[in-house]
Structure 1
Amino acid sequence: MRSYSSALAVLLAAMLTMGTQAGPSLPHLGDYPQGDPRRVGAAEPTTEEEAATQPEAPSALTLCPAQERVYRKSLLVTAFPRRGDASANGGGLQGAEQALPEWLAGRLANSGALFHHQTLNASLPMGSPAETAQQARQLARERQTQLVLTGALLDLGMARPKDLLNPDLITRGRNATVSTFGLNEEWDTRQRHFVLHLELLDGVTGNAVFRHEYRLRGVWNPKHPARARFGTPAFWETDYGEKVEQLLMEAGAHLEEAIRCQPLVARLNRAAPGSAPLLEAGRVQGLETGDRLPLHRVSLRQIPGEYRLYTAHLLASGATLTVVRAYAHSSEVKLEGDWALYGEHLAVAPGPGTQTASTGPPPTPSAEKPHAEAPETDAN
């Protein structure tokens, strides 16, 4: 009996080897790396044209220098819709659209980079980059957040869906042999793809401050398929779920670093005459009494040929604010100099790599009096 089992194992292993060398190969197998999202393919591009089409890998997890003062930001996380080949069939992964962003939001909330986050069950509607940026700005303003995290699931499909739904005897024996003897994982026909596109958008301009596409493949081998919905314990214990968790940990680390590298941006609320204006940031965000912050103006420019579609820009106004009194989530501030402010203004704390908010006395003003800003029509 023992010799019979050994012979059977050898025969099945030979069938596996022959199957990978003769006839059609497994669709798409070998296209996606496993675990490391900074690798974008199993092989290096061979031509300049192929190299140009490869997604740009995120930088190492030191995107900017460390900073003594920690400024914490607010984040809105939208749902991640399924696009293209992101089929949830063959495993019931329909809940991935909400489960994935909630997982990443929780990971970032525990990192210390945020003082507040919220999730949105809806996703950003598909459109042109300008439309996406404008929608992100509107959402950030409505939800009072500095950053917006959005994404899309591009592929959740099985490499060979027929083998999952109706496997024949040879396929079952092949996969059992791979699992039992720890053979080359690529010989297992239960390969499943995972492709996630992430974008971290600035809530003032709508521009992407971080963008990357993460890819992997793993074996979809749940012990209890009916229970293995996305994010359940039965899902995470699969080979595919373990690889997805590892990839999400790396994506979370990339996002945490990208958030840390952004300067703190806070809106200025000009109060009634006789009362101090308030800045929508305080001690929780990292500000202290005596901090001096440069003031920027929000400029909206209409896109030629587009109806009510604008680009947003932060322009240095030349004015500076001093924090007179810092509360938990707001600060009383004083405007230095004789400035006439028009339109929407925001204070921008220094980002990593620059000096922290200055707490010293203001510099001696020059003899020339600052020019008042020209009024600007509100494009909103």
Structure 2
Amino acid sequence: MRLRQSVHAALVAALFLSAAVADPIIANGSAPMDAGLTAAREMAIQDALHQAALSQGAQVNSAQYMNSGVVSESSSLSAAPISGKVTVLQEHQADGLYQVQVQVEPDQPAARGRATGCSAPDSRALRRRVVAAYFYLDHPADASDLDALGVRLPHDLARRLGQLERQFAVRDAGNIGLLPNRYLMDPALAASAVRRLADSENAQFVVAGRVLSTAVTKRSPRLSLYGSTNSSQQGMYYNGPGSALFGPGVVYRSVAREFKLELWVYDGLTGSLLRTQQFATTASGYVEPRNMPVFGSDAFWETDYGGEVNDLMDAVTRDVAATLSCLPFTARVLRVDKGQIYVDAGGLSGLQVGDRMLVYRQRLANAVIDPASGQELGIPESLLGDVSLIQVQPNLSVAVAHGGKAPVQAGDLLRFIPKR
């Protein structure tokens, strides 16, 4: 039998929470026009949505910026974004600014927290590209019967994410570790390795983590016959007359075992650690068979221990899906030739002819560092303008630019603009 435990999957980062009220919210936003009309309109809408979120509660964040060797500190207000229907009520241009007024109708409480609750406003699902990397083991000896767990676990996670219809294109890189060595378990140290892996696998996001425990948590005495005296299990055995034939004894068998992991989700384009979350469960029954089936196999899921771990992996998959579906879809410029811009995403990602995308350029020389933890938070970007898609193939699109303050070049990032 299996004893089901609750999985600890509370969303602790404000990035993935929804607004606490369901009443419509009116907010105003503005943006400069220097990157073009389309970019200015989208940035003004984003500013209005930010103002709407701040009106529901805010927190103060500070960060240090390094620019040409000079460190400066900046403080800002942040708030959980509001998920729901957005309607542009008014919009106009004045004094070099694009100004909008929007109405936000927040999702009802029952609609929040869904794994697929953040699709584009036109109801299209854009397939995020994800790569799953190695999971480190805090206690390898406890997992000795789970052969190659650190490699097989991301393989299973990639399989589950790939089965979510048209949500993710997933690659398995379970043999690649992100940290400098297994003794440094701070996931924030992996920023440069994350960027390299995402670039080599053409992925927008990277998922990895570590297994905190696979330990047996309870043992119980069991009567044993026939060969008990030859057993290596801890217990009490009869060694008198007839023991060679019957071998009676009392042995201690594992009857409860936990599985606890820590999930790391990264933005592959910047190397930023987006979130960490722990998941844990405990199984009871026959949790440590003499010949444990291979992790991830059908035979493993049918065991008492594997069945409980299967439920936990389902919860991990839902959490990853909910996290990534709420983040902007991003592609990269492959090259620019005679005014045509070649993009590394196409119809299989959900893109269509006529889609508009904002163009960003990373300022790789400028690092953004959290003053408290020293964690690299990301790479600053400059908004250049926007493009529209004129041709879409399965894995490639061709776009043209619509003005802006700098020409588009290879390596620039493109973020999807939803139709509002």
Alignment partners' CA distance in 2, 1:232 and 1:72: 27
Alignment partners' CA distance in 2, 1:144 and 1:119: 12
Call closer, same or farther: CA 1:246–1:120 in 2, change over 3 Å: closer
Alpha-carbon RMSD: 3.4
Alignment partners' CA distance in 2, 1:237 and 1:115: 28
**C-alpha displacement of 1:262:** 2.1
Letter in 2 for 1:159: T
Call closer, same or farther: CA 1:138–1:242 in 2, change over 3 Å: same
Aligned 1:166-205 pairs, distance under 5 A: 166-168=233-235, 190-205=255-270
| Secondary structure in structure 1 of the residue aligned to 2:347 | coil
**C-alpha displacement of 1:129:** 4.8
Partner of residue 173 from structure 2, selected from 105, 112, 119: 119
Aligned 1:85-124 pairs, distance under 5 A: 87-89=142-144, 92-112=145-165, 113-124=167-178
What residue is the counterpart of 2:412 in the other structure?
345
Q: Which stretch of the first structure deviates more once superposed, 333-342 or 147-156?
A: 333-342
**C-alpha displacement of 1:311:** 6.1
Call closer, same or farther: CA 1:33–1:316 in 2, change over 3 Å: farther
| Secondary structure in structure 2 of the residue aligned to 1:243 | helix
Aligned 1:1-380 pairs, distance under 5 A: 34-38=5-9, 60-61=113-114, 64-67=117-120, 68-84=123-139, 87-89=142-144, 92-112=145-165, 113-125=167-179, 126=181, 127=184, 129-159=187-217, 166-168=233-235, 190-219=255-284, 221=286, 225-272=290-337, 274=338, 276-300=340-364, 301-302=366-367, 312-337=378-403, 339-341=405-407, 344-350=411-417, 355-356=418-419
Aligned residues: 284
Judge conservation of contact 2:388–2:400 (CA < 8 Å) in 1: yes
Alignment partners' CA distance in 2, 1:236 and 1:338: 54
| Secondary structure in structure 1 of the residue aligned to 2:345 | coil
| Secondary structure in structure 1 of the residue aligned to 2:390 | strand
| Secondary structure in structure 2 of the residue aligned to 1:329 | coil
| Secondary structure in structure 1 of the residue aligned to 2:155 | helix
Give the TM-score of the pair, scaled to structure 2.
0.59
Judge conservation of contact 2:9–2:278 (CA < 8 Å) in 1: no
Call closer, same or farther: CA 1:247–1:310 in 2, change over 3 Å: closer
Q: Which runs of 5+ in 1 are unaligned?
A: 1-31, 41-58, 176-187, 359-380
Judge conservation of contact 2:283–2:308 (CA < 8 Å) in 1: yes
Alignment partners' CA distance in 1, 2:148 and 2:283: 19
Alignment partners' CA distance in 1, 2:259 and 2:397: 45
**More strand by percentage:** 2
CA displacement, residues 187-233 of structure 1 (integer Å, 9 cap, x when unaligned)? x8522121111111111111233421111121361695224343344
Letter in 1 for 2:146: L
**C-alpha displacement of 1:63:** 7.7
**C-alpha displacement of 1:139:** 0.9
Alignment partners' CA distance in 1, 2:286 and 2:209: 26
| Secondary structure in structure 1 of the residue aligned to 2:211 | strand
Judge conservation of contact 2:221–2:251 (CA < 8 Å) in 1: no
| Secondary structure in structure 2 of the residue aligned to 1:145 | coil
Q: Which stretch of the first structure deviates more once superposed, 332-341 or 101-110?
A: 332-341
Alignment partners' CA distance in 1, 2:162 and 2:203: 14
What residue is the counterpart of 1:25 in the other structure?
none
Call closer, same or farther: CA 1:228–1:117 in 2, change over 3 Å: closer
Alignment partners' CA distance in 1, 2:155 and 2:177: 13
Call closer, same or farther: CA 1:220–1:81 in 2, change over 3 Å: farther
Alignment partners' CA distance in 2, 1:223 and 1:192: 8
**C-alpha displacement of 1:339:** 3.5
Letter in 1 for 2:414: A
Alignment partners' CA distance in 1, 2:115 and 2:315: 13
